[in-house]
Amino acid sequence: MRLDRFLAHSGFGTRSEVKRLIKKGLVKVNGKQAKSPDLKIDEDKDVVQVGEEIVELQKRVYIMMNKPQGYVCSNDDPLSPTIFSLIPENLKYRNLHTVGRLDKDAEGLLIITNNGEYTHKVISPKKHIEKEYIVKLEKELNREKIKVFEDGVVLDDGYKTLPAKYTILDDFTVSLTIYEGKYHQIKRMFESIGNKVVYLKRVRIGRLKLDENLNPGEYKVLDELDAFSVFE
């Protein structure tokens, strides 16, 4: 890996910022002053220092974001802003992807990582990871019709969902917990009982809850203990 990329990935700034650190003579590799940002290093063997600090690359990254409405979860979209535009460059270079998706008009808990195995386990229906949402509806909830969610409901394409749990918060608001993530699943579930979702917010995945101190568009880096709490 190039030295400037290694330092950017380790949180020392953008590529241009770490190049300035190298130019100022503040970076050493194996005890010798680094002279070039494109110096190739072995991140497992070489010792990199910035000043007196030894740099250790965190290979796996886990980010919690409070996704705002109006943003898409793809890495690139010509028509809409993506959630990756909210992440600084030193993290963007980590080959990040979202763990599942939230619709453009949805908001709330979104996990972003570069650990593909972790993502597969979180989104796999076989793992039965709970995903909790706050759902607001256009029309007053029919309390009899929603009972079909308990056994699974047949969507417009004939797919029957896994059984879901729900708590009625008021006549127009439901806390809904599902165990899978089909395309527009929650919207289609409510459409199947004659209602329409007007607001959708994910608040929990497994035991990992959205940090309510995060405003829409804000994020924080998780340690592995928090990230893997989704499986507990």
Contact partners, residue 171, CB within 8 Å, separation at least 6: 140, 141
Residue tagged active-site, from 46, 77, 103, 211: 103
pLDDT digits (tens, 9 = 90+) for 38-77: 999 988 889 999 998 888 776 788 999 999 999 999 888 8
pLDDT digits (tens, 9 = 90+) for 9-38: 777 777 788 899 999 999 999 999 999 999
Q: State the pLDDT at residue 202.
A: 98
What are residue 229's phi and psi, to 5 degrees? -70, -15
Rounded to whole angstroms, how far apart are CA atoms 69 and 106?
A: 5
CATH of domain 58-128+213-232: 3.30.70.580
Query: Fold for domain 3-54?
Result: 3.10.290
**130-205 CATH, one of 3.30.70.1560, 3.40.47.10, 1.20.1250.20, 3.40.50.720:** 3.30.70.1560
Q: What is the pTM of this model?
A: 0.79
What's the start-to-end Cα distance of the chain, in Å? 35
Percent of the chain at pLDDT above 90? 72
Rounded to whole angstroms, how far apart are CA atoms 103 and 72?
A: 7
| 60 DSSP 8-state letter | S
Tell me if domain 3-54 and domain 130-205 are identical in fold. Answer: no
pLDDT digits (tens, 9 = 90+) for 78-105: 889 999 999 887 676 667 899 999 999 9
Q: Are 47 and 57 in contact (CB under 8 A)?
A: no
Q: State the pLDDT at residue 69.
A: 97
Rounded to whole angstroms, how far apart are CA atoms 206 and 191?
A: 26
pLDDT higher than 80, residue 220: yes
Instruction: Please confirm, yes or no, whether 103 is among the known catalytic residues.
Output: yes
Domain ranges of the chain: 3-54, 58-128+213-232, 130-205
Q: State the pLDDT at residue 93.
A: 62
pLDDT higher than 90, residue 164: yes
